[in-house]
């Protein structure tokens, strides 16, 4: 697990590809997370964008089964999704970009 984090750290230094992030979203997340507030099993990504930092989004994608308590959930229904580190970074960047105004407010 540590290796993945180190890897991700370097990957996230490179510019993320938001367009690819949207593709990753459609393929791997859209079944459970909406982006137009339609409501779904998981939270709409606008809400996630609104109050989560990118590093927290990265963590949840990598290890939902150990992060869920820190995020305030009492149980974990989201499976670990097997995607490349680049795709993890791109989809996290995509989610982070949804609420642009909030981006600077949640950094502290």
Where does this chain bind ligand HEC (CB under 6 A)?
28-29, 31-33, 41-43, 48, 52, 57, 60-61, 64, 68, 71, 73, 76-79, 81, 91
Closest contact distance (angstroms) between CB of 16 and ligand HEC is 13
Answer whether 101's CB lies under 8 Å from 38's CB.
no
* 44 CB burial (10 A radius; 0-12, 13-18, 19+): middle
Q: Which is nearer to ligand HEC, 11 or 64 (CB)?
A: 64
Q: Which is nearer to ligand HEC, 39 or 79 (CB)?
A: 79
């Amino acid at each position: 697990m540590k290796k993945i984090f180190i890897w991700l750290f370097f990957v996230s230094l490179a510019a993320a590809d938001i367009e690819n992030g949207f593709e990753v979203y459609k393929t791997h997340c859209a079944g459970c997370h909406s982006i137009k507030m339609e409501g779904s099993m998981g939270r709409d990504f606008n809400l996630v964008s609104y109050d989560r930092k990118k590093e927290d989004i990265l963590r949840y994608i990598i290890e939902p089964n150990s992060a869920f308590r820190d995020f305030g959930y009492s149980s974990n229904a989201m499976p670990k999704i097997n995607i490349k580190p680049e795709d993890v970074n791109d989809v996290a960047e995509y989610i982070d970009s949804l609420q642009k105004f909030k981006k600077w407010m949640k950094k502290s």
